[in-house]
Amino acid sequence: MSNKVAYVRTEMAPDMPPPVTQTGVVGWMRKNLFSDIPNTLMTLVALAFLVWTVPTLFNFLIGNAVFIAEDGTPCRAPGAGACWAYVADRFDFYIYGFYPDSEYWRPNVVFIVAALLITHLLWPDLPYKGLSAIAFFIGLPILAIILLNGGSFGLPQVTTEKWGGLMVTLIIASVGIVVSLPLGVVLALGRRSQMPFVKYVSIAFIELWRAVPLITVLFMASVMLPLFLPEGTSIDKILRALVGVALFQTAYMAEVVRGGLQALPKGQYEASHALGLNYFKSMYLIILPQALKHVIPGIVNSFIALFKDTSLVSIVGLFDLLGTVQATTSAVEWKAPHQATTGYLFAAAIFWVFCFGMSRYSMYMERRLDTGHKE
Amino acid sequence: MSEVKEEDISVDRTKMTVSETDVAIEITDMNKWFGDFHVLKDINLKVMKGERIVIAGPSGSGKSTLIRCINRLEEHQQGQIIVDGIELTSDLKRIDEVRREVGMVFQHFNLFPHLTIMENCTLAPMWVRGIPKAEAEETAMHYLERVKIPEQAHKYPGQLSGGQQQRVAIARSLCMNPNIMLFDEPTSALDPEMIKEVLEVMVNLAETGMTMLCVTHEMGFARQVANRVIFMDQGQIIEQNDPEQFFDNPQHERTKLFLSQILH
């Protein structure tokens, strides 16, 4: 092109491949690991850190770990790593608590049915969602009460004092999740209602529960509540914890959902009203699908927090997963330097698997539901 | 201010007939306040079936608020609004009845981004009128063809241009088979190239005899399509006349000033 002002392109420039240094492994490394001096330094520091930690961790977790043992003797040997044999020995206790071995099939059936139904509900393209929703929200709780508690249909009763381990963790977390989301949505809508009564009842509920620590809620539920009940009536300990956790979580969920409602442009409300949709239809069809989609990260955040907070029920004498792990750390026959560490590592791994699963699923749903096509 | 030239869009005024007897909207001594602010003052307006009314005026003059009162997106505090024989009060049932008969098109389209174009168009007919899905889809396709974008039916609003989205919004309203259409600055958020495609759809609609109230700055459209132009300022109707008289021989000083500023 010359320096003249007037210019007319005679042919369009063709598309060309990018330079080699921009593509492939070399391009990726140049771009991400060694793009400039600070980046290169960070890469080297990270490498040094990995070289320092990975072998130590590997030796502790696998290399020097004890996988098979009758008792704690091999774990007490000098230089022994994680005592996995101890976890294997107490595995049933971690999963079922004091539930009698002969009845393990009962929680197993409930777990399997729940897992199948959840999979069906969460897998987007499968048909008959309505049926499995009914089965999950109505059938499963009934099945769980009949099977887990027993006392009918010829099943020996297993009182809730004997429940424990991962079973209790999962029961409390799933009831908390399943109850808190719909109730939270109702409260969030209530808080934005134009009817003063509904609005102030919602605000009072949310602010009351949010301002109290969960430990206090659980403590109140187990110690204070019986004082207000007529003598002789007793509410099951696990049921009290369930109600406490669910209501506590509802208050949080309501605020997360309200955030999503407020983020929606006013035009969405106006357009749905202008089309003649009444309040409930416009909420159900237009507002909530969008609002909930916006707050998936917040909702799942609450679910994950709830899942981990279930370990607080140990304060009222329930044995959740962490509680059972903790209870066995004093087992004398497995006495070893890393006994407790191994147990807690196991508990951490279980918690991590469930929480990471929820996190990944939420990211998958976010991508799937993203129809906004924002630039 | 963009203006569509007379020769750009062909308009057949012979099909636009105004009823002598049937009243579509009647507003009597209506007043509205936002808090302490008196936003609409002493509004009297009678709209016959088949009328095409353009409401013009400076921003903040209350023209959008006025048409939003007609489908009760805004509540009036004094006076009477009767739409299609139904008086608007706080009775929710009547409000829903009116909204079923009155379509509205917004400046920012307000399509539902989580639904496809087809779902946007079939949602209200199915859930408000109880029309079966297949029939609703057939109607939707008919109107999408009329606004000339049937091929976009299975896309999401975010994948369409502004002009296309606004045409979908018009089709979505028409799917409810309304007697009256309200347009709240339908072209103000669009690029010049897209304004024309939306105006063409609106002209087309006027030719079917639809009763239309349009808040717009498109004076070319007003001149060609409207049978009456209303000029508002400070919450009041300042002047109204047929388009020729309104543009060529404005009476009120405020109208003259407004027209001199937007017509060059």
pLDDT of the residue at A248: 92
Full 3-state SS string of B209-230: CCEEEEECCCHHHHHHHCCEEE
For domain A172-373, give the fold.
MetI-like fold (1.10.3720)
Q: How many CB atoms lie within 10 A of CB A311?
A: 19
pLDDT of the residue at A267: 93
Contact B64, B185 (CB under 8 A): yes
Give the pLDDT band of residue B232 (cuts 50, 70, 90).
very high
Return d(Cα A304, Cα A290) in angstroms, integer: 22
pLDDT of the residue at A126: 81
Residue A146 has pLDDT above 50, yes or no: yes
ipTM: 0.90
Look at A343 and A154; give whichever has higher pLDDT: A343
Residue B6 has pLDDT above 60, yes or no: no
Q: Determine contact: B235 vs chain A, CB below 8 A.
A: no
Residue A328 has pLDDT above 80, yes or no: yes
Contact B71, B99 (CB under 8 A): yes
Percent of chain A, pLDDT > 70?
Answer: 97
pLDDT of the residue at A372: 65
Full 3-state SS string of chain A: CCCCCCCCCCCCCCCCCCCHHHCHHHHHHHHHCCCCHHHHHHHHHHHHHHHHHHHHHHHHHHHCCECCCCCCHHHHCCCCCCEHHHHHHCHHHHHHECCCHHHCHHHHHHHHHHHHHHHHHHCCCCCCHHHHHHHHHHHHHHHHHHHHHCCCCCCCCCCHHHECHHHHHHHHHHHHHHHHHHHHHHHHHHHCCCCHHHHHHHHHHHHHHHCCCHHHHHHHHHHHHHHHCCCCCCCCHHHHHHHHHHHHHHHHHHHHHHHHHHHCCHHHHHHHHHCCCCHHHHHHHHHHHHHHHHCHHHHHHHHHHHHHHHHHHHHHCCCEHHHHHHHHCCCHHHCCCCHHHHHHHHHHHHHHHHHHHHHHHHHHHHHHHCCCCCC
**Nearest residue of A to residue B114, measured between CA atoms:** A371
pLDDT of the residue at A375: 37
| Contact flag B112-A371 (C-beta cutoff 8 Å) | no
Q: Residue A293 has which token pair?
A: 């989609």
Residue A82 has pLDDT above 50, yes or no: yes
pLDDT of the residue at A7: 83
Give the sheet arrangement for strand B78-83, strand by strand: B37-48, B23-34, B78-83, B86-87
Q: Judging by beta carbons within 10 Å of its beta carbon (0-12, 13-18, 19+), is residue B72 exposed, middle or buried?
A: buried
Q: Which of A331-335, B42-46, B96-100, B218-222 has the lowest mean pLDDT?
A: A331-335
Length of chain A: 375
Cα A19 to Cα A22, A23, A39, A267: the distances in Å are 6, 7, 22, 47
Query: Over the stretch A297-326, which tens digit does the pLDDT of each residue have?
Result: 899 999 999 999 888 888 888 888 888 888
pLDDT of the residue at B2: 47
Residue A143 has pLDDT above 90, yes or no: no
Q: Reduced to 3 states, what is the DSSP secondary structure of residue B233?
A: strand
Residues of A in contact with B130 (CB under 8 A): none
pLDDT of the residue at A156: 82
Compare CB distances from A268 to B102, B104, B112 and report the shortest one's residue: B112
Compare CB distances from A268 to B100, B110, B158 and report the shortest one's residue: B110
Look at A127 and A353; give whichever has higher pLDDT: A353
Contact A114, A177 (CB under 8 A): no
Percent of chain B, pLDDT > 70?
Answer: 97
Q: Determine contact: B75 vs chain A, CB below 8 A.
A: no
Look at A20 and B2; give whichever has higher pLDDT: A20
pLDDT of the residue at B65: 95
Q: Residue A245 has which token pair?
A: 């956790």
pLDDT of the residue at A149: 81
Give the pLDDT band of residue A2 (cuts 50, 70, 90).
low
Q: Domain locations in chain A?
A: 96-163, 172-373
Give the pLDDT band of residue A121 (cuts 50, 70, 90).
confident
Q: Determine contact: B127 vs chain A, CB below 8 A.
A: yes
Compare CB distances from B110 to A271, A285, A372 and report the shortest one's residue: A271
| pLDDT average, residue stretch A160-184 | 89
pLDDT of the residue at A223: 78
| pLDDT average, residue stretch B149-171 | 93
Q: Determine contact: B111 vs chain A, CB below 8 A.
A: yes
